[in-house]
Amino acid sequence: MHEPEILFDVDDRVGILTLNRPRSLNSLTLDSTRALLGMLRDIGSDRSLRALVVTGAGRGFCAGWQLDDEELPGLPGESLGVRQAHLMAEYFNPVIQALHDLPVPVVAAVNGVSAGGGVGIALAADVAVAAESASFVLTYAPRLGLLPDLGLTWKLPRLIGWARTQAVTLLGERVTATEAAQWGMIWRAVPDADLRATAMALAVRMAASPPGIARELRHAHEVAQQHDLAAQMDYERVRQRVLLDTPAFGEGVAAFREKRMPDFHGDEP
């Protein structure tokens, strides 16, 4: 029987999404990307989930686009560039946007090599942790004459700075998990045997946070990249006006006064 290319399980209201093409280091085909996008959209509408862990099966996280995938749809006479640009607009970019728009916090558990678009998926998470044996590779420019995509040209300079971004993308050198953590590219590198437990512990901790706050924070940090200080403080004022009137804030204040941990989810299903 054909095994699904995307697996999904739930453990204590934490979703675990696994890229499941281990023989190809979980490289992305059109079919697997479609399945991934559909799964993320389902997760986004599932109100029973409180957090999400994204990882890969086998010894790799995601090796990016499978270059020899011959199942690219298109019209007769269309160039590869035209076809791929359409697929990016239709499927690949929406995967990153779907991760960015999820109401729940997302943890990437990078269990092995992450290359090309796989780096984009890992860095789209709220918190990325990696096994010490994991690595990040971007060979778009030196090997293929392409730009990094899936949001990487936006993310990388903001995470690791201009100098490191230029070097990493022009040279295509492997970045170890330890280096990635030291540079601020990911949250932490952990022993291989501890990766899953660490990722789940982080997800469980964040699952207890107020509903929707992960998405609220993502958007605040995103718009801050375009605002000056005065504009960002005004954005904060407007959002606080909304958030101060939510049940979550009321519960937080009550818990503080009663010297207990807040319960932001109560008896909701």
- Residue 187 is encoded by which pair of tokens? 């949250």
* Rounded to 5°, angle at Cα 146 from 100 and 142: 120
pLDDT at position 72: 63
pLDDT at position 268: 56
Terminal Cα distance for the chain, rounded: 35
pLDDT at position 84: 86
Residues composing the chain: 269
Q: Residue 90 in contact with residue 110, Cβ under 8 Å?
A: no
pTM for this entry = 0.93
CA dihedral 219, 224, 226, 227 (to 10 degrees): 130
Residue 197 has a CB neighbour count (10 Å cut-off) of 11
pLDDT at position 269: 45
Q: Is 183 exposed, middle or buried (0-12, 13-18, 19+ CB in 10 A)?
A: middle
Residue ranges in the chain whose pLDDT is less than 70:
1, 67-75, 267-269
Q: Domains along the chain?
A: 6-207 (3.90.226.10), 213-257 (no CATH)
Compute the distance between CA of residue 116 and CA of residue 137 in angstroms, rounded to an integer: 7
pLDDT at position 115: 96
